[in-house]
Amino acid sequence: MTCLHDIEVPNIKRNGDYYLWADYLELLCLLSQDNEVTINVLDEFMGVDKGMHIDEDIIDDITYFDSTQSDLTTEIFNNSDKISLIYDDLSRIFYTRLSIFGDKYPFICNINNKTIFNKKEYSYDNLLYIFLLIAGNTRLFKKNFQQNLANDFEQLATDALRIIFPKPWEWRHFGTAKHTTVDSYLGTKYSKLKILSDDINAKLIVEECNFSKFDTKDAGFDFVCWYPFDGDRASHLPLVFAQSTCTSNLDTLIIKQYSVLDDRIKNYFTQICCYNILLTPVFFRDAAGYFTRPHELVSVIIDRFRIMQLISYNIKMFTKLNSYCGITNSFPSINEKLYYGK
């Protein structure tokens, strides 16, 4: 049984959010019986040849960002020109993804025809890309499956972080999801904060009466990592707080990164200095390969591309994910194309 809702065109309000359309077209391609999709499937949404009113929130008369340039150009275009420019930018986004991900990208691009094709066979790296694509678009799936995807992405995020900070760094999971490869703090939020403060040689400045005895949620971060020095009880250890999120909404993602900032963590502890990381399966980059709205990013970002640089999964690891069956049931062509020789 499929876990998918009907795939709908994403509601995009900014030119810089074209990464959502690119993801949408990739998902359509995975579902296509013809194993291909053209950018022109957006024609109906744009009102092309239908005599429909074109949503001016989507293609505004003013600013168009040409990703081949480094600045914004203000011009006036008619509707046909604006749509053409959007499609050209989407084509460049696919070309950039192919260039950046290389053989790990599960699609073949024909830029001239504005068409992407499914590969005839998928390697494990291709499967990892597909998983991250799906995990970054959880809104398209039924509620109960969304949590499976989020939990599985947390597991992958843990694996990626442990590559950056291998042993003897100590890792603990602070969230509510269950993990098999990293120890978790258990109990109420206050009891978890108290144990953490002892582990990292910090001073806890909140009191138990400030929390509900039923509150077992995270404290704004999913993972914490520190470097232990034998016999050292002094404060200010090398310390990392990390948060993972599957949201594809860039506004929400930007807000989410503030939960692991130093100032936020110091609402709980003193005598610490920390490093903050946000992990996301979303590839929110423009056609030049740069982050969208980089001036609003205040954390280290580990996105789809960087996660794939860090980890490599084999088929046995994938089949252990809770969401694996839901993915293969929703996208049956994946099993048919998986090349077990790699």
Among 113, 140, 167, where does a domain finish? 140
Q: Residue 78: pLDDT band by 50, 70, 90 thresholds? A: low
Does residue 9 belong to any structural domain of this protein? no
Please state, rounded to an integer, the average pLDDT across all residues of the chain.
83
Does residue 1 belong to any structural domain of this protein? no
d(CA 9, CA 15): 15
From the list 10, 33, 32, the residue with the least C-alpha distance to 138 is: 10
Domain boundaries, position 153: 143-329
Letter for the amino acid at 334? Answer: I
d(CA 303, CA 321): 20
From the list 277, 293, 289, the residue with the least C-alpha distance to 245 is: 277
Residues 128, 160, single domain; the answer is no
Residues 83, 48, single domain; the answer is yes
Does residue 49 belong to any structural domain of this protein? yes
Residues 198, 319, single domain; the answer is yes
d(CA 181, CA 336): 30
Decide: 23 and 248 in contact? Cβ < 8 Å: yes
Residues 76, 93, single domain; the answer is yes
Does residue 335 belong to any structural domain of this protein? no
Does residue 341 belong to any structural domain of this protein? no
Confidence check: pLDDT of 205 > 80: yes
Decide: 248 and 137 in contact? Cβ < 8 Å: yes
310 vs 17, which has greater pLDDT? 310
**119 alpha-carbon distance from chain centroid:** 23
Residues 156, 86, single domain; the answer is no
How big is the chain, counted in residues?
342
Decide: 36 and 117 in contact? Cβ < 8 Å: yes
What per-residue confidence (pLDDT) applies to 8? 64
Residues 151, 251, single domain; the answer is yes
What per-residue confidence (pLDDT) applies to 294? 93
Residues 150, 131, single domain; the answer is no
pLDDT tens-place string over residues 154-170:
888 988 998 999 999 99
From the list 164, 195, 179, 160, the residue with the least C-alpha distance to 268 is: 195
Q: What does the DSSP 8-state code read for residue 48?
A: T
d(CA 224, CA 32): 41
**SS3 label, residue 172:** strand
Residues 154, 124, single domain; the answer is no
Confidence check: pLDDT of 104 > 90: yes
Name the domain count of the chain.
2
Residues 192, 312, single domain; the answer is yes
For residue 98, count other CB atoms closer than 10 A to its CB: 16
Among 86, 108, 140, where does a domain finish? 140
Does residue 127 belong to any structural domain of this protein? yes
d(CA 312, CA 224): 23
Residues 87, 175, single domain; the answer is no
62 vs 312, which has greater pLDDT? 312
Confidence check: pLDDT of 341 > 70: no
Does residue 156 belong to any structural domain of this protein? yes
Residues 132, 220, single domain; the answer is no
pLDDT tens-place string over residues 230-268:
999 999 999 999 999 999 999 999 998 888 888 888 889
Among 81, 115, 140, where does a domain finish? 140
pLDDT tens-place string over residues 3-54:
666 666 676 665 557 899 899 999 999 999 899 999 988 887 776 654 434 4
Question: 192-196, 229-233, 337-341: which has the minimum mean pLDDT?
Answer: 337-341
d(CA 249, CA 260): 18
Residues 55, 71, single domain; the answer is yes
d(CA 95, CA 108): 9
From the list 182, 294, 175, the residue with the least C-alpha distance to 245 is: 175
Does residue 210 belong to any structural domain of this protein? yes
Confidence check: pLDDT of 199 > 80: yes
Cβ contacts of 296 within 8 Å, gap of 6 or more: 254
